[in-house]
């Protein structure tokens, strides 16, 4: 399965998370999105975003000023009554 890349370098909170959310909504369950960011606040923001939405933060790396996050889109299953 391929991985989409979203470059949000230079954008500040909350724009990286908002743009990632919009991109993830257009993806299918299980697909991966790699986000390239430079805002240090993105580290906490993406952890909280994944915890609250059910998406999985499967990788994070930091090289100099470049932050890289890989998120797997959650499965959209309807809750049972």
Spatial distance between the Cα atoms of 81 and 1, rounded to a whole number of angstroms: 33
Given the residues 13, 18, 27, 43, the one annotated as active site: 13
Cβ proximity of 13 and 41 under 8 Å: yes
Residue 81: per-residue pLDDT = 45
Residue 62: per-residue pLDDT = 97
Q: Is 24 exposed, middle or buried (0-12, 13-18, 19+ CB in 10 A)?
A: buried
Distances (CA, A) of 8 to 15, 34, 39, 79: 8, 11, 9, 33
Please indicate whether residue 13 is annotated as part of the active site: yes
Residues of the chain with pLDDT under 50: 78-81
23, 6, 2: which is closest to 67 by C-alpha? Answer: 6
Residue 1: per-residue pLDDT = 61
């Amino acid at each position: 399965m391929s991985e989409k890349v979203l470059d949000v370098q230079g954008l500040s909170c909350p724009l990286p998370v908002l743009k990632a959310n919009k991109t993830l909504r257009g993806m299918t369950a299980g697909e991966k999105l790699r986000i390239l960011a430079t805002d240090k606040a993105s580290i906490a923001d993406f952890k909280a975003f994944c915890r609250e939405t059910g998406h999985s933060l499967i990788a994070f790396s930091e090289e100099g000023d470049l932050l890289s996050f890989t998120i797997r889109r959650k499965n959209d299953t309807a809750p049972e009554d």
